[in-house]
Copies of this chain bind each other. A is one copy, B any other.
Amino acid sequence: MSANPGPGSTSSGERLRPRRIGIDTGGEHVAYLRKDSPACHGEGFGPHSRLQVGVGDRRLMATLAIVQGDALAPDEVGLSESAWLRLAPAAHEEVTLTHPPSVESLSSVRAKLYGRTLAGTEVRAIVADIAAQRYSNVEMAAFIAACSNDHLGLDEVVALTGAMVDSGARLQWPGAVIVDKHCVGGLPGNRTTPIVVAICTALGLTMPKTSSRAITSPAGTADTMAMLAPVELDLEHMRRTVERTGGCIVWGGAINLASVDDTLIRIERALDIDSPGQLVASILSKKIAAGATRVVIDIPVGPTAKVREPRHARTLERMLRSVAARFGLGVTVLRTDGLQPVGRGVGPALEAHDVLAVLRNLPSQPLDLRERALALAAAVIEAGTTTSDGALASARECLDSGRAWRQFQAICEAQGGLRTPGVAPYRQPVASTRAGRVDAIDNRRLAQAAKLAGAPLSPLAGLTVDVRPGDAVRVGQPLFTLHAQSPGELAYAMEYVSRHPDIVRLGIDP
């Protein structure tokens, strides 16, 4: 009886031909094998196994899925889109599958679940492993669960914030004072950022603003801004824009700030777990990485906003201040009304029209958006300058005089040219079937109707809100108007609206 290992078996693990599967698994790398693959068999891999996938000297950790039938050959390994792009196998390059090295920091996650306070080195090791994509989704869920509620102490939040800053790029700007703003959990239409940046930079402050695209909402600030100017700037172009104008409003996704934060947010959102510690680390790490020194944080409080009760806002505020202080970051917190949508438009272009109307002082401008932007601009001015007198008056004068509008045009030019947002070709007013006074607007369903109409992927789509709470309404008067880029999408949103007649709720007749 003899068994000379052949030449193919001198390395560890199985060698297989890679195949691009084209599935975007939303962050977690996945490797696909046939059930009768020698790797499943030999290495004892099964569904959910974690394995190390190697091509040349590139390595990553993936979760295994088993493929039935003939979609793969027995000697093939399928790679999810993220794994394929990361490993980038050349023609004829083979893939090695091995048992992954154990992820030591998971023992700290377990210790945290058992109630132990983690040392800074442990928190940094966890974040480094998440940054290197060594955690599966269920492992990240366990980490998020371990940090939920008030389980993170101040030192742990500080360590988490610092580690998240270190997980991505970090920007530096000339000048000692760099201002920024952030809104915790958006209301539909709350697009103050372009207005605030225009006012504050017109008044001489430096405000290099990075924003996000919508994930679950009808529009993010970056989606709205993209209707007015290019936002996918590389770092060099962003830097030129800020040098020339003192500010910018760009998509942060192109710059890779605090990248672990995006990974964690994805799972947090799926779990809907509140954690002040992680929220604080998330907000502050992005701001520190963006190079800010003074930040104004807007916390809308209301039943459909992210922060639902004043006492939660107070807890959050205390922790924001304490952690920011440890990084030498100045923080001003504004608690604002989170009860109703802001402005009239919901959707990228429709919100951009609101922004333009305020900046250009048009008679049609939504006054609530204008006043919110002015209050935030005043807070940023106070945070960024030594004189705290007359900040609101300065902001108002800057907007009224057209100075903010000229400054906004300059920023847009520097970003690549001012654009004029279009208007959707298909519009349908939704009329009231009875008379009454507007009691409340269901923000969640309103946003859903805007998304069904096509926002944000169809950028002209969404809706405009035609009434406000307290308004008296006649039979047949439009309550809101759907905007769509195709008849099918309009029909789709209309069908939803017809099933939910109470998106705008009317009280007794006036």
A: residues with CB less than 8 A from B are: 1-6, 9-10, 12, 21-27, 32, 35, 38, 41-44, 46-48, 50, 65-69, 71, 81, 106, 110, 113-115, 136-142, 144-146, 148-149, 215-216, 266-267, 269-274, 426-428, 448, 451-452, 454, 457-458, 482, 484, 487-492, 494-496, 498-499
> How many whole Å from A114's CB to the nearest CB in chain B?
4
> How many whole Å from A364's CB to the nearest CB in chain B?
20
Additional 14 contacts, C-beta under 8 A, given A3-B491, A23-B67: A1-B426, A1-B427, A3-B428, A5-B494, A9-B491, A9-B495, A25-B47, A26-B48, A27-B47, A46-B215, A137-B137, A137-B138, A138-B138, A142-B145
B24 A47 Cβ-Cβ under 8 A: yes
Within the assembled complex, what's the spacing in Å between the Cα atoms of A66 and B25? 7
Within the assembled complex, what's the spacing in Å between the Cα atoms of A140 and B83? 25
> How many whole Å from A491's CB to the nearest CB in chain B?
4
A271 B138 Cβ-Cβ under 8 A: yes
Which of B65, B142, B454, B495 is A41 in contact with, Cβ under 8 Å?
B454
Name which residue of chain B comes closest to A456, CB basis: B44
Count of chain copies: 2
Within the assembled complex, what's the spacing in Å between the Cα atoms of A272 and B113? 12
Within the assembled complex, what's the spacing in Å between the Cα atoms of A110 and B141? 12
Within the assembled complex, what's the spacing in Å between the Cα atoms of A25 and B24? 14
Within the assembled complex, what's the spacing in Å between the Cα atoms of A413 and B451? 64
Name which residue of chain B comes closest to A84, CB basis: B68
- Which chain B residues border A140 with CB–CB below 8 Å? 138
Name which residue of chain B comes closest to A428, CB basis: B3
> How many whole Å from A248's CB to the nearest CB in chain B?
27
A66 B216 Cβ-Cβ under 8 A: no
B68 A22 Cβ-Cβ under 8 A: yes
B148 A114 Cβ-Cβ under 8 A: yes
Within the assembled complex, what's the spacing in Å between the Cα atoms of A21 and B22? 13
- Which chain B residues border A21 with CB–CB below 8 Å? 71
